[in-house]
Every structure is written in structure tokens, then in C-alpha cells.
Amino acid sequence: MSSKSMASTRSATPLRPMQKTDNPAIAAIIRCVLTEFGCTAPGFAIHDPEVDFIFETYDRAGCAYFVVEHEGVVVGGSGVAPLKGGDADICELQKNYLLPDYRGNGYGLMLFKSCMEAAKALGYKRCYLETLEHMTAARKIYEREGFEQIKEPMGNTGHFACNCWYVKEL
């Protein structure tokens, strides 16, 4: 295959399962996006112990994590895992972040849809997520994709600083 063909193949399929070597890139993305949105206080995912070890966190039964690349560089990621403290048939959309320069081009929706497909394949019946009221662009995507806002958090995620909760039937 020519290098031109390989480049077009790469750009045509920028989504893939995460690899262990992606850990530093995903940790940097999580920290960048959460800092961008002012989410650095206790109760936000930036303080989760797994931020530096996302691959290991999702490399277990009932989990999936995907990354999206742009020109060979990881620019975002998203995963699903069992909802801590929730029913066995509920997963949580987790660590769903995309660098600012790569938003608005379909990468976020690609990550989201891959996570929903993985959740169904893993046998989950519902998907839960937590976010913030001021993350309006993300909330619009969630609502457009069938998530319904609920009045209180589910499970025991430890993200007590989040103030918007959603659930979707899969």
C-alpha cells in the first residue's frame, strides 16, 4: 500500500481501541479539558487516581475505551464501564474528552457512538453520565442522542461536583 493510501485510510478511520502507549496522551487531554472548563476542584474527574492509567482501568471485563486520532496524534477519548454502586445492567459513559481544536468535526460523535455500541455489546441496558450545566455543547449532543436528564445522581462515582445527570435506554 502506498503512503498516500495509508494516510487516507488513517484519516478515514481515526477511531480505535485505546492502547497502553496512549496513557500519557489521554491523561494530558483529560487535564487540559477539565482545566479549560474550570473543573479542577475536588469532586472532579481530574483527581481520579486512574487518570494516568486509563488503559489499565478499562482493560477489564465490562469496559471499553476508545481514542480518536488526527494525523496520527491522539486528540480525544471516551469509555464505558460499570456504574460504581449501580445496578449490573447500567454502565457509565466516562472520561469523555476531546481537545478544543478538534471539536465540531464529528470526532466527539464518533467516540460517543462507539461507546454506545460497545455498551450494548457488553450487555448493558442503560447508560448513565455526569456532566456540568455549563458544558452546553456536550449536553446538546447527549440530549440529541437520546439521553434524558434526571434529577439526582446515580451510583457512587465520587464526582460530587457534577451538577447534571443523564440516563439513556440502550
pLDDT in tens, 96-114: 999 999 999 899 989 999 9
Compute the distance between CA of residue 71 and CA of residue 132 in angstroms, rounded to an integer: 30
Integer angstrom CA distances of residue 149 from 68, 75, 144, 166:
27, 28, 12, 4
Q: Classify strands 64-70 and 164-169 as parallel, antiparallel or unpaired.
A: unpaired
Domain ranges of the chain: 3-124
CATH superfamily, domain at 3-124: Gcn5-related N-acetyltransferase (GNAT) (3.40.630.30)
Give dist(CA 62, CA 43) in Å, integer: 24
pLDDT at residue 2 tops 80: no
**Beta-ladder partners of 152:** none
pLDDT tens digits along 14-40:
999 999 999 999 999 999 999 999 989
Distance of CA 139 to the CA centre of its chain: 13
pTM (whole model) above 0.95: no
pLDDT for 11 beyond 50: no
